[in-house]
Amino acid sequence: MAIASEKAEAQQANGFVSEEKRRLAEQERAQLARQKQSLALQRERILSQRTSSPIRRNALEAALKDIEAQIATLG
Question: How confident is the prediction along the chain (75 residues), in pLDDT tens digits per residue?
Answer: 455 555 555 555 566 678 889 899 999 999 999 999 999 999 999 999 988 999 999 999 999 999 999 999 988
This prediction has a pTM of 0.68
User: Which pLDDT score, from 0 to 100, does residue 7 have?
Assistant: 53
User: Which pLDDT score, from 0 to 100, does residue 58 have?
Assistant: 95
User: Which pLDDT score, from 0 to 100, does residue 1 have?
Assistant: 47
User: Which pLDDT score, from 0 to 100, does residue 67 have?
Assistant: 96
Q: Which long-range contacts (CB under 8 A, 24 or more apart) does 41-47 make?
A: 42/67, 43/67, 43/68, 43/71
d(CA 11, CA 14) in angstroms, rounded, equals 5
d(CA 5, CA 70) in angstroms, rounded, equals 40
Cβ-based neighbour number of residue 67 at 10 Å: 20
